[in-house]
Amino acid sequence: MKIKYWLIGTYLIVMLLPIAALYLLYVSLSHYDQQQDLKEYLEFQELVTNTETYLQDASLYDIQPEENYQHLRDLTNNNIKIDLYRYDGVQVFSSLDSPGTTHFITDTIENLYKGLNEYKKNPQTHNVKKLMLDEDNRIIGLYEITVGRNAWVDTASNRSLWMIILFSVFFIGLYALVFLLLQRKLNRPLKILQAHMRAFAKGEEAKEALVESKDEIGELASHFVKMKEQIIQTREELANQQKEKEYMVASLSHDLKTPLTVIRTYTEALEDTSLSEKEREEYRAILFQKLDHMKQMIDDLSVYTALQSSGNSIHPVQVNGHEFFDMLFAGYEAPCAKKGIKLVTDLKVNNAYRLDPKQVIRVVDNLMDNSMRYTAINRRIGLAAIGSTKSLPEWIFLSFKEEIEEWRQGGTVLLIQNEGMGIRSEQLEKLFLPFYQDNASRGKGATSGLGLSIAKMIMEKHDGKIKIWSKEEQGTLIACWLKERGY
């Protein structure tokens, strides 16, 4: 539940529950009072009935000595009062008066005769007045019986005290419950989140796990976890990039050392006047070869750095598949023939692709350059571009074919296969690392060590992929996967 809805609900509960509690308490007390009133009324009626038998004596309503009323005093106590009046309103007896008290007319006749035969309930007493008639139904007097509600008064006082106590306990309990809920819903999750933030800022781990919930604090905690993961990932990437830069600098320094040494050696040798012109030409050719190699290394490093930049992206355009790949494959037949290598091509592509021609040409140039370098004279290189619905060339090594069929699903593959010495399995995954070269190639000026890394980055920027299959003493196959239109 969202915190705003939870707070609204809690506010309504805090506001309404005390009112509801008071109402229930009032209803309960009212029901109890009704039961007590009924009980008191029945008890009062019974008392009146029992007392009336002693009040039917007509002689009691004449002024007479006090001792004649002693039996009536015995019927009364501090809670019961009996008053007798003569027909003309003179009070002849009152159980609360001291013996020998003089009686006077206490009220007007009109007020005295009001409310006859009515059972009256006052906050502190029950009261009834009745007439006393003679045999001829003439009024000779009236009597009044009053019973105090001492038990009700005491109970009412205690009830008020208990009501205040119970309501106070309920009120305190309610707010204690709300406080605990706020502590659990708001304070505790926020404190734990703050602890995680402080721990993360110090590079430490928090002791208590974050509270998982679907409210705003839960969302905040979830965003914090994602932010934390992103920051950690960014830190790791920066650390890896730093290590990679250090490795690149070290590798570049090492790889530049050999051609620089050769350049210096042959430059110094050219100063020897005893050299023949043929030897001088050979030395100059070697110098230009090493300078070209150094230039290639620097160019590859520039391309690799540019591709690594987050702001650098490819610029795809729509090309005709047959025209583009036919043009692409046409440039490799002469270099292969010059090295005594047989080039076999196969072109089965779709009509249209969206790609960056310059970058794709760079990928194939790098891969073909590697293949020609490691292919012996009179051996074969296969170069193909095959659409997803077309069959693979027959010259694909059978040991790779089944896996390639599964890997190429949904896209066009560029295939470059050479019949070379092959690559050991433990080296295959390392080949895409920048500046990685095997021991046979390093230090001989063969490559910059960035060709495959550049190819992998270009393919990934095309939403494609690249993979190498190799088997020692048989050869190596490199496949690049390109997305087809509609996929």
Are both 231 and 273 inside the same structural domain? yes
Residue 206 lies in a domain: no
User: 254-261: long-range contacts at Cβ-Cβ below 8 A with a sequence spacing of 24 or more?
Assistant: 254/442, 254/443, 255/297, 255/435, 255/442, 255/443, 255/448, 255/449, 256/294, 256/297, 258/443, 258/444, 258/445, 259/290, 259/291, 259/293, 259/294, 259/445, 260/294
Residue 33 lies in a domain: yes
Please state the domain count of the chain: 3
Residue 96 lies in a domain: yes
pTM summary value: 0.50
Are both 406 and 304 inside the same structural domain? no
| Whether 144 contacts 127, CB under 8 Å | yes
Instruction: Please identify, among 279, 296, 312, the residue that sits at the C-terminal boundary of a domain.
Output: 312
pLDDT for 186 beyond 80 = no
Residue 28 lies in a domain: yes
Residue 20 lies in a domain: yes
Residue 258 lies in a domain: yes
Q: What is the pLDDT of residue 443?
A: 44
Residue 242 lies in a domain: yes
CATH number for position 377: 3.30.565.10
Are both 270 and 368 inside the same structural domain? no
Are both 455 and 435 inside the same structural domain? yes
Are both 337 and 400 inside the same structural domain? yes
Residue 280: give the domain boundaries.
Answer: 212-312
Are both 299 and 355 inside the same structural domain? no
CATH number for position 19: 3.30.450.20
Are both 377 and 471 inside the same structural domain? yes
Residue 176 lies in a domain: no
Stretch 152-160: mean pLDDT, rounded? 73
Stretch 303-328: mean pLDDT, rounded? 80
Are both 299 and 395 inside the same structural domain? no
pLDDT for 104 beyond 50 = yes
Are both 223 and 341 inside the same structural domain? no
pLDDT for 329 beyond 80 = yes
For the chain, give the secondary structure using H, E and C: CCHHHHHHHHHHHHHHHHHHHHHHHHHHHHHHHHHHHHHHHHHHHHHHHHHHCCCCCHHHHCCCCHHHHHHHHHHCECCEEEEEEECCCEEEEECCCCCCCCCCECCCHHHHCCCECCCEECCCEEEEEEEEECCCCCEEEEEEEEEECHHHHHHHHHHHHHHHHHHHHHHHHHHHHHHHHHHHHHHHHHHHHHHHHHHHHCCCCCCCCCCCCCCHHHHHHHHHHHHHHHHHHHHHHHHHHHHHHHHHHHHHHHHHHHHHHHHHHHHHHHCCCCCCHHHHHHHHHHHHHHHHHHHHHHHHHHHHHHHHCCCCCCCCEEEEHHHHHHHHHCCCHHHHHHCCCEEEEEEECCCEEEECHHHHHHHHHHHHHHHHHCECCCCEEEEEEECCCCCCCCCCCHHHHHHHHHHCCCEEEEEEEECECCCCHHHHHHHHCCCCCCCCCCCCCCCCCCHHHHHHHHHHHCCCEEEEEEECCCEEEEEEEEECCCC
Instruction: Please identify, among 289, 312, 335, the residue that sits at the C-terminal boundary of a domain.
Output: 312
Are both 465 and 393 inside the same structural domain? yes
| Whole-number Å distance between alpha carbons of 295 and 256 | 10
Residue range 235-275, pLDDT digits in tens: 888 888 777 777 666 666 766 777 788 888 878 788 877 77
- Identify which has the larger pLDDT, 129 or 440: 129
Residue range 27-55, pLDDT digits in tens: 887 887 788 888 888 888 888 888 888 88
Average pLDDT over the chain, rounded to an integer: 82
CATH number for position 301: 1.10.287.130
Are both 290 and 354 inside the same structural domain? no
Are both 20 and 128 inside the same structural domain? yes
Instruction: Please identify, among 277, 312, 347, the residue that sits at the C-terminal boundary of a domain.
Output: 312
Residue range 382-438, pLDDT digits in tens: 999 999 999 999 999 998 899 999 999 989 999 999 988 888 877 777 787 776 665
